[in-house]
Structure 1
């Protein structure tokens, strides 16, 4: 297709993440056209529409989805709305990207992937950290054999976003029992991490995890005063992969440190690599590499071509990574390229989240289903 073709984009949700990541990503890419923005608070939608040059504003998501100029729908809304809005977009024949998690139950996410395939539309999950230049370099080293046979993959996603109990907790699942442990960091943070590690090590075979509540009382958005709530704010886990590799994983939003708090460590027979995605000193990420004959890790500086045009390591990480995600996603659609990080991948991540929750409750290893449960374009 012509490089001049542009993809009509409609974004649902005008909150902070849309402002920091999604909308800057579309505005910066010449092959995307911001056609419409929708939010239930019209003033919020109008404000961001003016800021980012969005032509149309809606307060009803169905109207945006059915707009004939909107070819792709971006669901950037609270968790419980991801699945119904994504299904509505699929039913309307629109390509759709959703923030994670797509669904609380992996089977619902697998079904969404199947429906998208049947409708002939493309999907993507907003797993932002796949689009870190450092992480993508590690993936290239895995694929081209630079790291050799992969033995160990360690993944961390932890920062202190909710360490302060007076900072309001968001998106408690509807109908959750506040007297029982409510999975939280493993869902919001862990879904990213589980996807990254699977991308590097292959399919999960078995997992075992420990979930914990460390801050028992905190403010909760929508409620007055401090609330006693058994929300899981830290998880540690082990994983075995079909390939034979081993994994160590940890998620937390009460571990002291800066955003986004991601570290990916991959150890193979020919080399090892560490990507540290922690914004410090105005730098978004660092990458280190070692080999059996040079075991001291050395810093790797990537070429400017590894970054989206107009960005550097000093670009704030939400914009840096999402601008990369957007250009890959738009090109996949317009140039009919193979899909990456689809709803199927989101379903596989949620399947592992669900297995870790089950593992904690039953205090045992959980085997993951061995067969592929869905296919997507």
Structure 2
């Protein structure tokens, strides 16, 4: 391993950057955290002091133009992900963007194509791909250890907005609040779709049901409860191109802790369940069974599957993002194959769009290859 370091600039230093992105860069010995940027200069300077960034910007364009910055991390509000990512691509910088890259698939596919044309690498912030338990399952499927795959079930459900007085964030100003607004299928479903695609291959067709359960909520930045019909929960069925079957469920109002992700895979030789739920100081568990020994047992993965300096008691945002950052930095510096790119984000959004259409038209929707 060489001593070469990657110059990184992070745009956005608020909560998620502070507890996930920036700790990942600080912990990686091959990262030179060149700069941070935030519209709030005080917040940016505090982040620079905390995580060791050498420069502070309040203008994203200036960070992107900095010749020492080789990779740009976009950790900003959703509507800014695509334009900032495109600016970085145009400047010849590698890009990590929080998800979603865009709330429609076509612009995300375009961004992926532009990155390829520019010869830069991309990664989308699908945090849960970097769970050690999830990565074990993906490798077990790919190697054939679980045999022919019959069923893949994905859940992301927690009680984040079970309390109507807990402020709901990121409701678009122009949203039609008297109509069902896709929400859990976008915020949570995109993660599940990515995991289910990565593990089981391409989706063939989907059908879904979306529902609002709590019609009045407090919305961040507004006074009192407001009537807003977000999709609190979505249930979907999946027909894989391989012939496997899948189910998907997202919920903002299911009792339980964060992040509330569970993936279950059943094959001809065995089965595995990854449960990514922070409980009793453990962030995840992995259970496995075979057709001969069909009582599920806990599988403890070796320390080598964890990012250096972490344990399963490390808070999940930092645990998984340290892994994500380490993979992306090493992909760039060592010219490794890309994984979890903007193209994956575009395909996930394409399937989110299909689930929404399936609900609205009450029918199965085929996924274009």
Per the shorter chain, which TM-score range?
over 0.9
Large movers: runs of 4+ above 6 Å: none
Mapped to 2, the partners of 1:329 and 1:302 lie a distance apart of: 22
Q: Structure 2: where are the runs of 5+ without partners?
A: none
Q: Note the C-alpha offset of 1:166.
A: 1.0
Equivalent residue number for residue 245 of structure 2: 246
Q: TM-score, normalized by length of structure 1?
A: 0.97
Equivalent residue number for residue 33 of structure 2: 34
The DSSP-based 3-state class of the residue aligned with 2:296 is strand
Equivalent residue number for residue 151 of structure 1: 150
Mapped to 1, the partners of 2:161 and 2:82 lie a distance apart of: 26
Mapped to 1, the partners of 2:368 and 2:173 lie a distance apart of: 28
Equivalent residue number for residue 8 of structure 1: 7
Q: Note the C-alpha offset of 1:140.
A: 1.1
The DSSP-based 3-state class of the residue aligned with 1:96 is strand
Mapped to 1, the partners of 2:47 and 2:182 lie a distance apart of: 32
Equivalent residue number for residue 331 of structure 1: 330
Mapped to 1, the partners of 2:51 and 2:141 lie a distance apart of: 38
Is the aligned partner of 1:99 residue 2:101?
no
Equivalent residue number for residue 196 of structure 1: 195
Equivalent residue number for residue 136 of structure 2: 137
Equivalent residue number for residue 374 of structure 1: none
Q: Note the C-alpha offset of 1:173.
A: 2.7
The DSSP-based 3-state class of the residue aligned with 2:295 is strand
Q: Note the C-alpha offset of 1:174.
A: 4.1
Equivalent residue number for residue 281 of structure 1: 280
Q: How does 1:1-377 map to 2 (within 5 A)?
A: 3-370=2-369
Mapped to 2, the partners of 1:204 and 1:24 lie a distance apart of: 34
Q: Note the C-alpha offset of 1:313.
A: 0.7
The DSSP-based 3-state class of the residue aligned with 1:294 is coil
The DSSP-based 3-state class of the residue aligned with 1:324 is helix
The DSSP-based 3-state class of the residue aligned with 1:357 is helix
Mapped to 2, the partners of 1:329 and 1:11 lie a distance apart of: 14
Is 1:209–1:237's contact at 8 Å kept on the other side of the alignment? yes
Q: Deviations over 1:152-173 (max 9, x none)?
A: 0000001111111111111113
Mapped to 1, the partners of 2:44 and 2:253 lie a distance apart of: 32
The DSSP-based 3-state class of the residue aligned with 1:360 is helix
The DSSP-based 3-state class of the residue aligned with 1:273 is strand
Q: Deviations over 1:247-296 (max 9, x none)?
A: 10001111111011000000000100000000000001000000001110
Q: Note the C-alpha offset of 1:224.
A: 1.6
Q: Note the C-alpha offset of 1:223.
A: 1.4
Mapped to 2, the partners of 1:172 and 1:33 lie a distance apart of: 36
Q: Structure 1: where are the runs of 5+ without partners?
A: 371-377
Is 1:186–1:353's contact at 8 Å kept on the other side of the alignment? yes
Q: Note the C-alpha offset of 1:230.
A: 0.8
Mapped to 1, the partners of 2:175 and 2:87 lie a distance apart of: 25
Q: Deviations over 1:26-77 (max 9, x none)?
A: 0000011111111111111111111111111111111111111110000111
Q: Note the C-alpha offset of 1:197.
A: 0.4
Mapped to 2, the partners of 1:279 and 1:48 lie a distance apart of: 26
Is 1:127–1:192's contact at 8 Å kept on the other side of the alignment? yes
Q: Note the C-alpha offset of 1:226.
A: 1.1
Mapped to 2, the partners of 1:329 and 1:231 lie a distance apart of: 34
Mapped to 2, the partners of 1:38 and 1:252 lie a distance apart of: 33
Mapped to 2, the partners of 1:3 and 1:180 lie a distance apart of: 55
Is 1:123–1:342's contact at 8 Å kept on the other side of the alignment? yes
Is 1:3–1:31's contact at 8 Å kept on the other side of the alignment? no
Mapped to 1, the partners of 2:308 and 2:173 lie a distance apart of: 41
Q: Deviations over 1:285-343 (max 9, x none)?
A: 00000000111001001011010111111111111100001110000000111000000
